[in-house]
């Protein structure tokens, strides 16, 4: 498979803090790639450079064959973006929000089809600020798909969502990948990375310290003689929670 995102020796510093210190990695076409790391590891900075929102101090970032630092506008046309801690303009319905972003990309879309894709068709006429957290996250993905992106960037897409909404979003992401879009996501939830991502890169202090499919990383750890000090549980509290409250998405 070919690489659709190529990052070479990427660097970014804010004053004295070196947020990104020489990152290099490839994201392959059609995969779900996860960038993992604790808060402050430099995940968001890396993603924002790839999205064309920040200028790198050094190194190359190439998305779908376009050098992001040289042609940020063209790169923006090729990618879909869901930002961490961002919001939509107020006083718009869900459908109007999708139409608005289509305008921003200079394209026309069938907003209803997109809303159907993210399971929000019945909320089309509702003000977006009245949507629940999970619904807004799905609306956010709908707006990120208006330009039929080659790569979809999701920055901590499930932070703050309840277990049902998280699982629903994972399904949505898998469906998007199925339709041919490469997905690049950041998360600090390891369970999310484990079930969702084809490959993950673990970063800390602005550098990648490991990169492989989740299973391979786990096997490698076990091969190094690691064993959990606690007895392996057959179920987690989350399993209990989902068993008690069901898998259906809560819409409120």
Q: Give the residues lining the site for another protein (CB under 8 A).
A: 51-53, 55, 73-74, 76-77, 81, 83, 85-92, 100-101, 103-106
Closest distance to another protein from the beta carbon of 74 (Å): 8
Closest distance to another protein from the beta carbon of 59 (Å): 19
3-state secondary structure 65-124: CEECCCCHHHHHHHEEEECCCCCCCCCCEHHHHHHHHHHHHCCCCCHHHHHHHCCCHHHC
Look up tokens 């999205």; give the residue.
51
Closer Cβ to another protein, 91 or 234, answer by number: 91
First to last CA, the chain: 42
Closer Cβ to another protein, 13 or 205, answer by number: 13
3-state secondary structure 197-243: CCEEEEEECCEEEEEECHHHHHHHHHHCCCCCCCCCCCCCHHHHHHH
Closest distance to another protein from the beta carbon of 61 (Å): 15
Task: List beta partners, residue 66.
Answer: 63
Closer Cβ to another protein, 98 or 217, answer by number: 98
Closest distance to another protein from the beta carbon of 183 (Å): 16
Closer Cβ to another protein, 2 or 91, answer by number: 91
**Helices 133-144, 163-178: crossing angle, 10 deg rounding:** 10
Closest distance to another protein from the beta carbon of 134 (Å): 18
Closer Cβ to another protein, 26 or 155, answer by number: 155
Closer Cβ to another protein, 103 or 222, answer by number: 103
For 102, the 3-state DSSP assignment is helix
Q: How far, in Å, CA of 116 to CA of 54, rounded?
A: 32
Query: Residue 29 corresponds to which tokens in the numbers above?
Result: 């076409």
Closest distance to another protein from the beta carbon of 211 (Å): 26
């Amino acid at each position: 498979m070919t690489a659709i995102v190529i990052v070479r020796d990427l660097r970014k510093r804010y004053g004295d803090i070196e947020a990104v210190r020489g990152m290099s990695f490839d994201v392959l076409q059609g995969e779900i790639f996860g960038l993992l790391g604790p808060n402050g590891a430099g995940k968001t900075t890396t993603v924002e450079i790839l999205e064309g929102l920040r200028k790198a101090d050094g190194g190359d970032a190439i998305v779908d064959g376009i050098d992001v630092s040289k042609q940020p506008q063209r790169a923006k046309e090729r990618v879909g973006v869901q930002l961490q801690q961002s919001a939509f303009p107020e006083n718009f319905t869900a459908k109007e929000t999708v139409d608005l972003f289509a305008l921003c990309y200079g394209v026309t879309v069938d907003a209803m089809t997109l809303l159907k894709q993210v399971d929000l068709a019945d909320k089309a006429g509702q003000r977006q600020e009245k949507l629940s957290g999970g619904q807004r996250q799905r609306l956010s993905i709908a707006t990120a798909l208006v330009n039929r992106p080659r790569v979809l960037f999701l920055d901590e897409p499930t932070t703050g969502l309840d277990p049902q909404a998280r699982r629903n979003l994972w399904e949505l992401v898998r469906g998007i990948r199925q339709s041919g879009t490469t997905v690049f996501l950041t998360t600090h939830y390891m369970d999310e990375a484990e079930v969702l991502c084809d490959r993950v890169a673990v970063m800390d202090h602005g550098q990648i310290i490991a990169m492989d499919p989740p299973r391979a990383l786990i096997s490698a750890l076990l091969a190094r003689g690691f064993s959990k000090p606690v007895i392996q549980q057959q179920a987690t509290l989350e399993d209990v929670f989902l068993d008690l409250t069901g898998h259906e998405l809560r819409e409120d």
